[in-house]
Structure 1
Amino acid sequence: MNIAWKEIKKNKVRFIILGSIVFLVSLLTFIISGLANGLSQDNAALIKSLPDGQFYMAEDAEGTNSLSRIDLKIQDQTLSETKDAVALSIQMGFLNDEDDKQRSVAFVTSTESPLFENVEKGEIVLDRSLQEAGLKVGDTLTNDQFSGEFTVKEFVDQQKYSHAPVAFINMENYKEMYRTNEMQLLFVPENSEFPTIAGLQSYTNKEFLSAIPSYSAEQLSLNMIVWFLVVISALLFAIFFYMMNVQKIGLYGILKAIGVKTSTLFKMMWTQMFFITTIALVFSIGLSQLFNQFAPAGMPFSLTATVTIQLSIVFLVIGFIGATLSGIQIKKVEPLQAIQQGEV
């Protein structure tokens, strides 16, 4: 530990450069991860807020809920025989406010269930983002497909679908708007037995999320960038410590000659890696959380403590691996040969 600290003080510039690079890469990783989580929440908060369970939709819909239709007899039988089961529909559409401004929403209706907002005819419950956009409780909204008017009952938090705020409406109003008596989906929560229903295909929450347009492509692209940055960090550690070790072959030979164990040399290198990485992570976490607090209102950014801790552990692990791989040459150092090489 003492040797490691002395070397850091002696070669401050080198370690500051390494620390700065790790800081910048980890900061970029935290920010992109926050954007990925924010976009995920903005794209599918409605589904992610549900407990684990099974979604059912018509087999011929091929995973597209907007094309699914649940037969009324199957729906009634499932709801009566399966505890906590709920039938629901999700349709993209528009609302016109009192200033005749059109707002894109995802209309959601369901049978009576604590999992979804239950509203009376003519009422509507909206995601809070629409309140921030200027709507308020008591406002009257219209829809071109609906003969009546909607009165805003209340606003709820974190209810988005396909990047659109959710609008919960009464089932009878939904049927009039979309000219159908059939619902699109059945959902059975985890605390119930999952039935096998003829003519319907079942999906886990994760599988259903993947069926949302753009969700998989969006998340795959951002997560790929995150892991590329992690791999780059590992390479940086390996290259940096490899170059350092090459320059210190003679020193390692002398240390081995006077009885210093190889394990002690590895511990010195690991201590340096841990110290540099920890300092860099502290600064990058601080700045990313500051960015989280002051990110523009319209930017979907969510960096939770859990994700931050997980990424920090990943950086420490890959730093350990990178430093260890670069230090394999230390084990091969022969004292006399290394001393002679250092003299050349």
Structure 2
Amino acid sequence: MILSWKEMKKNKVRFLILGSIVFLVSLLTFIISGLANGLSQDNAALIKDLPQGQFYMTKDAEKTYNLSKIDRSIQNKILNKQKDAVAFSIQMGFLNDKDDKQQSVAFVTSTGSKLFKNVKHEEIILDSSLKDKGIKVGDTLTNNQFSGKFIVKGFVDQKKYSHVPVAYINMEDYKQIYKVKEMQLVFIPGGDSSQEFTGLQSFSQKDFLNTIPSYNAEQMSLNMIVWFLVIISGMLFAIFFYMMNVQKIGLYGILKAIGVKTSDLFKMMWTQMIFITVISLAMSIALSQVFNMIAPKGMPFHLTFETTAQLSIVFLVIGFIGATLSGIQIKKVEPLQAIQQGEV
């Protein structure tokens, strides 16, 4: 510990540069991770907010829920057998507000369930983001495919699908708009993949989200960037300590000659790595949380404590591995040979 601290005081600039790089890389990683989580919520909050369970669509739909049509007899059989099961449908559409401006929405309807908002004929409940568009409770909205008019009965928070606000409508109104008789999906809370039904394919929540093309492509790209940055940080640690160790071959030889163990030299390097990483992470976490609070309202940014903690642990592990790999040469140092090379 004493040796570690003395060396860091002696080479302040070197360690300050490494700490700055780790700070910037970790801050960028936290921000991109927050953006990925925010876009995930903005894309599929309607599905992600449901409890764990199983989703079912017809096998003929080939993992495309828009093409799924659940047979009425099978639907009734499932709903009668499974206490909390619900059948629902989602379809993209639009509403005309009082100024005759079109607002994109995702129409959602379902059988009776506490998991979805149930509304009466010609009533509608909207995601609260539409308040920013000037829509209020009591407003009358229209749709070109609907013969009647929708009365806004209320709003719900954070209910988005495919980056547009959700609009809960009555089942009969939905069927009139889209000229369909069957529901697209059945959801069984707490269900598992062992439950099978004729002609239906089951999906966990994660698997179902991956059937949504925009969600899968979006999350895959952002997560790839996050892990790429984490790997870069590990490489930075390895390169930095490798160069430091090469410059200190002579010093290591002298320390070994006077009885300092190889394990103590590794501990010195690990102490430096942990000190730099912890300080850098603390600063980047604080700044990312400030950004979380001051981010523009319309920006889909959501950085949770759980995500921050997981990434911090990953950074520490990657840093430890990178520093350890670079220190393998310490073990190979022969005192006499190293001293002869001269101390740098």
TM-score by length of 1: 0.97
How far, CA to CA, are the matches of 1:311 and 1:343 in structure 2?
38
How far, CA to CA, are the matches of 2:174 and 2:206 in structure 1?
27
How far, CA to CA, are the matches of 2:170 and 2:70 in structure 1?
18
Q: Does 1:2 align with 2:10?
A: no
> What corresponds to 1:285 in structure 2?
285
Mapped contact 2:238–2:322 kept (Cα < 8 A) = yes
Matched length: 344
How far, CA to CA, are the matches of 1:61 and 1:130 in structure 2?
32
> What corresponds to 2:105 in structure 1?
105
How far, CA to CA, are the matches of 2:317 and 2:259 in structure 1?
29
Q: Cα–Cα, structure 1 residues 106 and 194, in superposed 2: closer, same or farther, change >3 Å?
A: farther
Q: Cα–Cα, structure 1 residues 169 and 194, in superposed 2: closer, same or farther, change >3 Å?
A: farther
Query: How far 1:110 sits from its partner (Å)?
Result: 0.3
Secondary structure at the counterpart of residue 25 of structure 1: helix
Query: How far 1:124 sits from its partner (Å)?
Result: 0.8
Secondary structure at the counterpart of residue 158 of structure 2: coil
How far, CA to CA, are the matches of 2:288 and 2:131 in structure 1?
27
Secondary structure at the counterpart of residue 106 of structure 2: strand
Paired residue type of 1:288: S
Query: How far 1:317 sits from its partner (Å)?
Result: 0.5
Query: How far 1:192 sits from its partner (Å)?
Result: 7.8
Mapped contact 2:234–2:318 kept (Cα < 8 A) = yes
TM-score by length of 2: 0.97
Cα-to-partner distance string for 1:317-338 (whole Å, 9 max, x where unaligned) = 1000000000011111111111
> What corresponds to 2:176 in structure 1?
176
Secondary structure at the counterpart of residue 213 of structure 2: coil
Mapped contact 1:41–1:48 kept (Cα < 8 A) = yes
Mapped contact 1:82–1:192 kept (Cα < 8 A) = no
Secondary structure at the counterpart of residue 230 of structure 2: helix
Return structure 1 stretches of 4+ with deviation > 6 angstroms.
none
Query: How far 1:266 sits from its partner (Å)?
Result: 0.6
Query: How far 1:343 sits from its partner (Å)?
Result: 5.3
> What corresponds to 1:136 in structure 2?
136
> What corresponds to 1:310 in structure 2?
310
How far, CA to CA, are the matches of 1:105 and 1:182 in structure 2?
21
> What corresponds to 1:237 in structure 2?
237
Paired residue type of 2:163: H
Q: Cα–Cα, structure 1 residues 193 and 309, in superposed 2: closer, same or farther, change >3 Å?
A: closer
* Farther-moved stretch of structure 1 (189-198 vs 229-238): 189-198
Cα-to-partner distance string for 1:239-277 (whole Å, 9 max, x where unaligned) = 000000011111111111111111111111001000111
Aligned-CA RMSD value: 1.3
> What corresponds to 2:336 in structure 1?
336
Q: Cα–Cα, structure 1 residues 197 and 249, in superposed 2: closer, same or farther, change >3 Å?
A: same
Q: Cα–Cα, structure 1 residues 196 and 224, in superposed 2: closer, same or farther, change >3 Å?
A: same
Mapped contact 2:54–2:191 kept (Cα < 8 A) = no
> What corresponds to 1:321 in structure 2?
321
> What corresponds to 2:49 in structure 1?
49
Cα-to-partner distance string for 1:92-142 (whole Å, 9 max, x where unaligned) = 000111011100000000000011111111111111111233222111111
Paired residue type of 2:65: N
Unaligned runs of 5+ in 1: none
Mapped contact 1:82–1:193 kept (Cα < 8 A) = no
Mapped contact 2:248–2:343 kept (Cα < 8 A) = no
Paired residue type of 2:235: L
> What corresponds to 1:157 in structure 2?
157
Secondary structure at the counterpart of residue 198 of structure 2: coil
Cα-to-partner distance string for 1:144-182 (whole Å, 9 max, x where unaligned) = 111111111111112111111100111111111112221
Q: Cα–Cα, structure 1 residues 250 and 87, in superposed 2: closer, same or farther, change >3 Å?
A: same
How far, CA to CA, are the matches of 1:284 and 1:48 in structure 2?
28
Paired residue type of 2:316: L
Cα-to-partner distance string for 1:40-99 (whole Å, 9 max, x where unaligned) = 111110010011111111111111111111111111111111221111000000011101
Q: State the identity as a percent.
A: 75
Mapped contact 1:88–1:109 kept (Cα < 8 A) = yes
> What corresponds to 2:216 in structure 1?
216
Mapped contact 2:251–2:343 kept (Cα < 8 A) = no
